[in-house]
Amino acid sequence: MFHLSATELAKKYKDKELSAKEIISTFIQRCKKENLGALLSILEESAMENAKRLDERRENNEVLGPLAGVPIIVKDNLMMEGETTTCASKFLENYKATFTASVIKDIEKADGIIIAKANMDEFAMGSSTETSAFKNCTNPWKENYSPGGSSGGSAAAVAARLAPISLGSDTGGSVRQPGAFCGIYGFKPTYGRVSRYGLIAFASSLDQIGPFTTTVEDLALISSVINTPCDKDSTSIQTPTEDYTASIKGDIKGLKVGVPEEMLKGLHPEVQKNFEEFLATLEKKGAKRVSISLPHNKYSVPIYYILAPAEASTNLARFDGIRYTKRSKEAKTLEQVYELSRTEGFGKEVVNRILLGSYVLSAGFQDAYYRKAQKVRRKICEDYENAFQKCDVIAFPTTPSPSFELGSITDPLTMYMQDVFTISANMAGIPALSVPSGFTSEGLPIGMQLQAKQMDDALVMKVAKAFEDETVHAAKLPKLCEALS
């Protein structure tokens, strides 16, 4: 069953070749067997209950949604009423969500079944899943290598086929980079296209929920379900839900692919080579390569580490030792409740970001850092506006190099540079997809990124589909998939 895509599973379910009980129990068994560190909780009881109810509805010939029979895993920063939602933080270790995220309601309405919650970097801060307060996660393609982050658990889960689809969140690259490291699709939709209501906020002006899948068809399937306008998220785009499954078909003849030449220096040689092959494949399908420039991209990492911590420092102020689960037992005064609960509950990376964010927002430094960074953000958006005058989509690698060994990156700056190619899409709110595009000689996956104008999500998927039709990379499975069945 794990060889099937979500689209294939849904079809077999509809045709009554498989029951939801069979499908869900099979994937739950896989989840129980995994020892990658990909999951934080398995929702066996509720998933089996939902499967039973779905089978009954099928028996009664009721109309079923497009995700009927599809198991889905979600990152543990998405709220599901009554279920533990930890953000991989000690602070929320025993926290049970009091409501359900809109994106999960959309999935449930489409009859998808959530089977587990995935490991992640604490509060989505990190690029390797090593800041999780609970455990490390290993890359399914190579033991002791990082699956990427912060949605590393969600990516590893799909690469190991614990489910055909998972959700992550992408603030600076946290869906695309793990997608690239794990050899699967990782998509950050247009900002506002997917509701953030019920996603525990990190940096609200950059956060976007996005899916991981193993085929473009599945990407279109899940994206068509979760791109629903939401009245509980004031940044939700009020354009009616779009069906991408039809728009991914068709050719890309004459389509202009912009390549920012100045960004291609210093790439890992195998990533460089793979990028040229990626472009050659698109050219073979009739696309045309054009040179563009994104001159302010080089500032994207520095300004991200001003803007994202600034937003995080205010978003995380609610974790104060009074509300939610963590309260220090040592605290005697109100001040100590705040201080001790926060130092006991948060990991080092989270503390660093809160301090940095409070600093750049402080009265004396706001103009020098925060406001200046906002101006540079505007410049990045203008770069894109100029570039899209010349091309339809933009292509460059998702990351400059493939996955690395767990524990091998010890200084924060090197880790922060993981996102040098991904952050600018969050700054501009545009759709960006990491496409599995090949492997290094060591067998580590490589991903190439496609970006387009806001609301051109369908176009990004269409170009990816044209590439997928010509290649076999996305269809490859890591060896350990067999061992889990």
Query: Does the active-site annotation cover 195?
Result: no
Cβ closer to ligand GLN: 300 or 325?
300
Binding residues among 189-218 for ligand GLN as defined by CB under 6 A: 202
Minimum distance from residue 450 beta carbon to ligand GLN (Å): 18
Among 125, 222, 225, 307, binds ligand GLN (CB under 6 A): 125
Tokens, residue 231: 């009245």
Supply angle C-alpha 204, 107, 89, rounded to 5.
Answer: 45
Residue 43 as a binder of ligand GLN (CB under 6 A): the answer is: no
Binding residues for ligand GLN, how many (CB under 6 A)?
14
Task: Match 């895993």 to its residue by tokens.
Answer: 73
Query: Does the active-site annotation cover 401?
Result: no
Binding residues among 334-353 for ligand GLN as defined by CB under 6 A: none
Tokens, residue 49: 């209950």
Residue 127 as a binder of ligand GLN (CB under 6 A): the answer is: yes
Sheet containing 39-42: which strands, arranged edge to edge? Answer: 39-42, 113-118, 71-75, 165-170, 208-213, 185-188, 432-439, 445-452, 393-397, 256-260, 288-292
Supply angle C-alpha 224, 230, 233, rounded to 5.
Answer: 125
Cβ closer to ligand GLN: 173 or 438?
173
Cβ closer to ligand GLN: 120 or 484?
120
Minimum distance from residue 25 beta carbon to ligand GLN (Å): 32
Binding pattern to ligand GLN, positions 274-313, x when CB under 6 A? ----------------------------------x-----
Instruction: Give the alpha-carbon dihedral of 201, 202, 208, 213, to 10 degrees.
Output: -100
Residue 172 as a binder of ligand GLN (CB under 6 A): the answer is: yes
Residue 174 as a binder of ligand GLN (CB under 6 A): the answer is: yes
Residue 89 as a binder of ligand GLN (CB under 6 A): the answer is: no
Minimum distance from residue 305 beta carbon to ligand GLN (Å): 8
Distance CA 210, CA 215 (A): 15
Cβ closer to ligand GLN: 103 or 124?
124
CA Rg, the chain, in Å? 21
Which of 128, 132, 174, 313 is an active site residue? 174
Among 85, 100, 171, 424, binds ligand GLN (CB under 6 A): 171
Minimum distance from residue 50 beta carbon to ligand GLN (Å): 29
Residue 78 as a binder of ligand GLN (CB under 6 A): the answer is: no
Which of 150, 154, 195, 236 is an active site residue? 150
Cβ closer to ligand GLN: 154 or 245?
154
Residue 150 as a binder of ligand GLN (CB under 6 A): the answer is: yes
Among 34, 419, 457, 468, binds ligand GLN (CB under 6 A): 419
Residue 66 as a binder of ligand GLN (CB under 6 A): the answer is: no
Give the range of 42-50, 166-174, 266-274, 277-285 binding ligand GLN by CB under 6 A: 166-174
Residue 76 as a binder of ligand GLN (CB under 6 A): the answer is: no
Among 34, 106, 122, 170, binds ligand GLN (CB under 6 A): 170
Query: Does the active-site annotation cover 313?
Result: no
Give the range of 60-68, 120-128, 394-402, 441-449 binding ligand GLN by CB under 6 A: 120-128
Among 69, 173, 260, 429, binds ligand GLN (CB under 6 A): 173
Give the range of 121-129, 158-166, 403-411, 430-438 binding ligand GLN by CB under 6 A: 121-129
Give the range of 9-17, 122-130, 402-410, 474-482 binding ligand GLN by CB under 6 A: 122-130
Binding residues among 308-327 for ligand GLN as defined by CB under 6 A: 308
Cβ closer to ligand GLN: 26 or 352?
352
Active site residues: 75, 150, 174
**Binding residues for ligand GLN, per CB under 6 A?**
124-127, 150, 169-174, 202, 308, 419
